Amino acid sequence: MATYDREQLRAKVLERLGVLDPAQATSAEDAATVDQAVQTTLEDLYEDGLIPFDVDTDAIPAAHYKALSKVVAYDLIEAFGIVGDRAVKLSTGNDEGMRRLRSLKTAGYAGGVVRSEYF
């Protein structure tokens, strides 16, 4: 299963915010702000049962990566002074991200054989 690390998630969040060009280096201040938001968001979502992996890991499953980047970017609107159309777009992205995380939570395993016992 493909995974992404926190550095990749940070870069994607900054890209969504319009703060970072993909070819540009991240400033230490921006990196710290995003890293803190990532950790806080992961902890909140873990407590809500929306992510099944360890929040202290550096391996973020591919199925959760895009949705997490949208949710974290929305949480950083104020910190990066995002206003107007971009803020609306990030709000819509947050809604999409949360829907995706909820759908991943409800998607259970199907297709396994269950052995029955008759009395």
For 111, half-sphere exposure in the C-beta direction (CA atoms, 13 angstrom radius) is: 2
Q: Quick one: which of 60, 84, 45 has its CA closest to 12?
A: 60
Reply yes or no on whether the pLDDT at 57 is more than 70. Answer: yes
Per-residue pLDDT, averaged over 33-42, amounts to 95
Give the model's confidence band at 74: pLDDT under 50 very low, under 70 low, under 90 confident, else very high: very high
Q: What pLDDT is recorded for position 114?
A: 63
pTM score: 0.83
pLDDT at 39: 95
**Domain extents for the chain?**
3-106
pLDDT, tens digit, 9 for 90 and up, residues 45-54: 999 999 988 8
